[in-house]
Amino acid sequence: MYPQIEIDLNKISDNAKVMLEKCKEHGIYPCAVTKVTCADEQTAAALIKSGFNQLADSRVENIIKLKEAFGDKIETLLLRLPMLSDCHRVVKYCDISLNSELSTIKELNKHAKEQGKTHKIIIMVDLGDLREGIWPSDVLELKEQVKKLKNIEVLGLGTNLTCYGGVIPTNKNLKKLIELKESWEQDGQQSLKIISGGNSSSINIMTSKEIPEGVNHLRLGESLFLGRETVARNHIENTHLDVFKVKAEIIEVKKKPSVPIGTIGQDAFGETPTFEDKGEHLRAIAAIGRQDIALSMEPTSKNIKIIGGSSDHLLLEAENVDIKVGDIVEFVPEYGALLAAMTSPYVRKIYK
Ligand SMILES: *Cc1c(COP(=O)(O)O)cnc(C)c1O
């Protein structure tokens, strides 16, 4: 049955080992970020088998799935700031959470007390990307407040870059985290164990040795699954780029004009499309759409090109290729397409 996403578990293991090894060379112990796979259990098992013992996800539902499958074999880290209304589950299932709001940390403390636990947190610092995090100048004030919360343990400081603002991690901006750690520890009362220096966009400065000494943790998603760092999306040496393949079935093949006939208004998604007139060409329709994928996929056949897609149909130009109804076409998804395919209940997950 199609559409499918084929997941090559051996390639995931290979990528995981390569990334762990590279990080270890630089004194970094990363966690594996499972959110793009919706914390798929077999994928997570491959990551754990390859040496990851800390798994991170942005959704508590996914963390519950991981805890139920792997129990105390793994440590779980919640990536998205907890919702005030969800602190009970966060404390129950997540060993560590990333935080930036005192009111939420207080609520976590309350639930940790009720559950007889200490909840560990990493405080997120905004170094300019303008997504989550407290301003560097507010860190010491937050420290004073959090110190009073008996069921909260601050493990360290972290940052997230290259997500909203596209800000690239550098020695200069990450050094701010190290300076903040030093001022935190100045009174000699508490040391911070973790300095979490970002996501897959921090790999370049790690391999070029520009990453400041003291950064000892990264949160890796895309690099593990797609073999790319995320500043320029360059291939990371020795990793596989084609861990995942999206497969869909052809339901129509016809020669048609390359420009629609009639007056052009908006398409199915409220955009006004434009077309290049290439005369008649061979077009194929695959039975998969934006409910299942994003259009950011690379066909494995050079003679097939994605020219558009609506909710349930993917339109392909298929010149110079023998293609017929019933054929299966293959694509390597980029991040957005992978996220959608793993999330769509219509896309079957097949393991290789
Ligand atoms: C998604 C996410 C990551 C992983 O990012 P990649 O670019 O996939 O490595 C890391 N940290 C946070 C806070 C995230 O939300």
Strands 328-333 and 297-299: antiparallel
* 20-39 CB burial, b ≥16 within 10 A, e <16: bebbeebebebbbbbbbbbb
Nearest protein CA to atom 12 of ligand 1, as residue: 79
Asked if residue 288 has its Cβ within 6 Å of ligand 1, the reply is no
Whether 207 and 18 have beta carbons less than 8 Å apart is answered as no
How many angstroms does the Cα of residue 67 sit away from the middle of ligand 1? 20
Q: How far apart are the C-alpha atoms of 133 and 127, rounded to whole Å?
A: 8
Check pocket membership of 200 for ligand 1, CB cut-off 6 A.
yes
Using N-to-C axis directions, what is the helix angle for 139-146 and 102-114, rounded to 10°? 20
Token pair in block for residue 269? 């998604």
Pocket test for ligand 1, best of 57, 160, 218, 334 (most atoms within 8 A of CB): 160
Return the residue whose CA atom lies nearest to atom 6 of ligand 1. 221
Distance 349 CA to ligand 1 centre (A): 23
Centroid of ligand 1 to alpha carbon of 221 (angstroms): 6
Give, for all 352 residues of the chain, the pLDDT tens digit.
999 999 999 999 999 999 999 999 999 999 999 999 999 999 999 999 999 999 999 999 999 999 999 999 999 999 999 999 999 999 999 999 999 999 999 999 999 999 999 999 999 999 999 999 999 999 999 999 999 999 999 999 999 999 999 999 999 999 999 999 999 999 999 999 999 999 999 999 999 999 999 999 999 999 999 999 999 999 999 999 999 999 999 999 999 999 999 999 999 889 998 999 999 999 999 999 999 999 999 999 999 999 999 999 999 999 989 999 999 999 999 999 999 999 999 999 999 9
| Contact present, 151 and 183 (Cβ < 8 Å) | no
Q: Which residues are catalytic?
A: 35
